[in-house]
Amino acid sequence: MDALAFAHQRARGTLRLSFKRRDAGTVLDGLRQEGCLKARFPRTEHGAWAGAVTLNSSGGVAGGDILDTTITAGPGTQATVASQAAERFYRALPSTAPAQVSTALHVAPGAALEWLPQETILFDRCAVERRLIVDLAVDAWFLGVELLVFGRTAMDETVQEAQWRDLIRVRRDGRLLLHDAIRLDGAVQSVLDRRATGGMARAVATLIHAAPDAETRLDALRQALAGHDAGASAWDGMLVARVVSPDGACLRTAVVAGLNALRGGRPLPRVWLC
């Protein structure tokens, strides 16, 4: 029988989303969605920015999947983009190429963009190459968060082995501000158990805030994260915080506290409260 008859189905998704300014507000400018990646536009709550919610209709990410997202905040816009739910990265077959997940964010002059996906949940033996590229104008404002959960502790899951590549790169006016790369291969749990890496943590998060006044928010963020296993630093118009937690629930509590300290009292997207 033809070997092609045994080929596994793989998910493909492309999302192109842009915002523009109209009068005193922010509205949708362009939308293109193909395959499993979609965007929805809930009603804007009082005090919130215009927003979108992304979703992956394939139900999760497996080896060989290819997902590609580009989001553009046009001049003078203010927008919040969140994900509908946690994204799950499932076990990859040994002969399957890693999943490819790429996100590009462009923030124009005078614009502000929040990138607030919910948790990324890794399953044992997943294989993923993921990158987040953020390009900012000189006076742009950006807030982003990434949460990684290594197995659901409530389900007694662990990630013994995985192939994980994760890259976050932030540039302002073409100048590199942050190049943050994570590579975990093989015995992931043993790496996380080490004192110098995870200290037996099972969930980690990174918060990034880039703005002309980002450094002035450092004390407020540190105060919000007090009591959690976290640290924050600020330099050159950028603030970065790391959080490690024993499980996803504790991680979310810390991240929400950090976001509240940086978002000027605006409500979190409703999907974060479900």
User: In a 10 Å sphere around its CB, with 0-12 CB exposed, 13-18 middle and 19+ buried, how is residue 95 labelled?
Assistant: exposed
pLDDT recorded at residue 6? 54
Residue 4 has pLDDT above 60, yes or no: no
Residue-wise pLDDT for 165-176, tens only, equals 999 999 999 999
pLDDT recorded at residue 236? 93
229-252 mean pLDDT? 95
Residue-wise pLDDT for 22-80, tens only, equals 998 999 999 999 999 999 999 998 889 999 999 999 989 999 999 999 999 999 999 99
228-254 mean pLDDT? 95
Residue 3 has pLDDT above 80, yes or no: no
pLDDT recorded at residue 1? 43
Residue 125, sorted as left (phi over 0), alpha (psi -120 to 50) or beta, turns out to be: left
pTM for the predicted model, two decimal places: 0.93
192 vs 11, which has greater pLDDT? 11
CA distance 200 to 152: 14
Residue 154 has pLDDT above 80, yes or no: no
Each domain of the chain, given as residue ranges in start order, spans: 3-273
pLDDT recorded at residue 7? 61
Residue 108 has pLDDT above 80, yes or no: yes
